[in-house]
A and B are shown apart, each in its own frame.
Chain A
């Protein structure tokens, strides 16, 4: 057998270290919990409520992310040059913003004394410290990532398909609906799950903008934070519950998302 060269050994060594760094904490968390422990957790009404709020807020945010993000991503994929670069910078702003700062910014914009908060208040809408605030926080943080990745999906679809559709009599709307969208459907499905996974894990922005109100805005992440101060064991259990949900979502992406069959 040929002796591996030093460079190959370096790559292998770094890879192994990184693998350990990723897998070791996961393993530690999972070892801390047991199936019976998880069932016991789910028996608590408070935990069930936090789980419900977590899933509900992410699921409510998803259609909104699609509604805003899909046209934006498609439009961006059809832009070229300076315009596209400037729009991409706008998208990157929320990505580089620390989550806590994002929460503060949202509060200043939509809070009771915020820029448009008073206006909303006149209509009887009070966002902060409600489930809507959790949804808005998810929308604010997750949509830019969704748009970025979905733009790449649309970039991968050659223009010729849409042109062919138009020459066969399709309006731009029809060619988008009947040709472009079906061509990216598997990729979009994966993006939807990624958006869910991302929304479920948000912490900083939610705790500032929506608050940590058990039964109203307390998601699993926030519940872990609260529990960690009083009952670390509970926090570990909740942590592995959240981890399991994320792993399930990841498995769904891998199983149902774009795979080898795409040419």
Chain B
């Protein structure tokens, strides 16, 4: 089983890309805001750009090593890459596009036709075989591009925002198809996206990139449970409250930057900068503060009410901002509060998590 591992530094326009990452066989999603350096990382891995220093290895093979000076050109790296704009060859039809890499390898015509037919069949696009590229829909182009890439048996697959260019109606279908195809592959696949919905959809390993660095790498579940930065928390929809843990009269206390005090499971934290996270669905909302409640609470103005199917998501703000999510039945029971009204947001200490962080 081949695994990609890389350690790279390369100057980008506004910051330095500095990445250490290993990608096991299977899908890893590389998530990050626009301009974080995700596409640049893919180009470095593919050999289209040269890093300032570092090392890239794929299984037993060394693709790049600044120390020994080895640097395989892109055509020898055995890396498949699906570009954001696909780059299907406009002068060739669908079959010739898929067979392009095979022809270069000097594969006999009969064998090539057989391989192409196999891929067309596997992706359900047999009827497109002789069609010109200009007459394909977005989703069809996607399938042809992946077939063209997989035809050459790559040892690593890089996908740059594979569904970004599709219109929303086609996106869902292509995502489903892509997940099925990628899950069957036995090679590492790195899928770049800036869309958290896509991450949630693939529910696989996630690497998060910000400002040229990998800030978190783990399962989607870990990302939800313990987002490593405010960006990630907001990305996955978890409340993230920065603040500080301090000792007051022998007890530990978390004081948010907004000035509120919260209780949390303090066993693992030391006094100092920390952040508290809590899921939107662990926050209860009330018109009146319940009697004798020892729980964390915030009295805030409703900024925003969003209906998501049978769920309702509300943003409350006062000293800090909290997002709460409740069932539409619960929302009705509250009397369907509107933006501008005030509500009490309440959550238990043990339903929140707290962690120190370095600023």
Contact = CB atoms under 8 A, between A and B. Distances in A.
A183 interface: yes
B interface residue count range (under 10 / 10 to 19 / 20 to 34 / 35 or more)? 20 to 34
Contacts of A19: none
Interface in B55-104: 73-75, 77, 79-81, 83, 85, 87-91, 100-101, 104
A168 interface: yes
B38 interface: no
A174 B76 CA distance: 13
A235 B100 CA distance: 56
A263 interface: yes
A165 interface: yes
A interface residue count range (under 10 / 10 to 19 / 20 to 34 / 35 or more)? 10 to 19
A161 B149 CA distance: 13
A169 B105 CA distance: 8
B149 to A, nearest CB: 7
Given A160-B85, A163-B83, A168 B104 contact: yes
Contacts of B152: 168-169
B46 A167 contact: yes
B91 A167 contact: no
A165 B83 contact: no
B72 to A, nearest CB: 11
B148 to A, nearest CB: 7
B91 A182 contact: yes
A158 B89 CA distance: 11
Contacts of A105: none
Contacts of B148: 168
B136 interface: no
A49 interface: no
B283 to A, nearest CB: 46
Contacts of A166: 48, 73-75
B170 interface: no
B83 A164 contact: yes
B53 to A, nearest CB: 23
A178 interface: yes
Interface string B19-57: 000000000000000000000000000101000000000
A42 interface: no
B87 A161 contact: yes
A171 interface: yes
Given A263-B90, A263-B134, A165 B100 contact: yes
A243 interface: no
B87 A164 contact: yes
A95 interface: no
A168 B77 CA distance: 10
B104 to A, nearest CB: 5
A179 interface: yes
B239 to A, nearest CB: 41
Contacts of B85: 160
A170 B90 contact: no
B85 to A, nearest CB: 6
Interface in A119-173: 158, 160-161, 163-171
A137 to B, nearest CB: 36
Contacts of A161: 87, 89
B350 to A, nearest CB: 51
Contacts of A168: 75, 100-101, 104, 148-149, 152
A170 B91 contact: no
Contacts of B149: 167-168
Contacts of B80: 167
A202 B279 CA distance: 80
Contacts of B87: 158, 160-161, 163-164
A182 B81 CA distance: 22
Given A163-B48, A164-B83, A263-B134, A170 B89 contact: no
A68 B101 CA distance: 30
B89 to A, nearest CB: 6
Contacts of B77: 167
Nearest to A262: B90
B127 to A, nearest CB: 23
Given A167-B77, A178-B104, A182-B91, 10 more contacts: A158-B87, A160-B85, A163-B48, A164-B81, A166-B75, A167-B48, A167-B74, A167-B81, A167-B149, A168-B148
25 contacts: A158-B87, A163-B46, A163-B74, A164-B88, A165-B89, A165-B100, A166-B74, A167-B74, A167-B79, A167-B81, A167-B149, A168-B75, A168-B101, A168-B104, A168-B148, A168-B149, A168-B152, A169-B75, A169-B152, A170-B101, A171-B73, A179-B91, A183-B89, A183-B91, A263-B90
Interface of A: 158, 160-161, 163-171, 174, 178-179, 182-183, 263
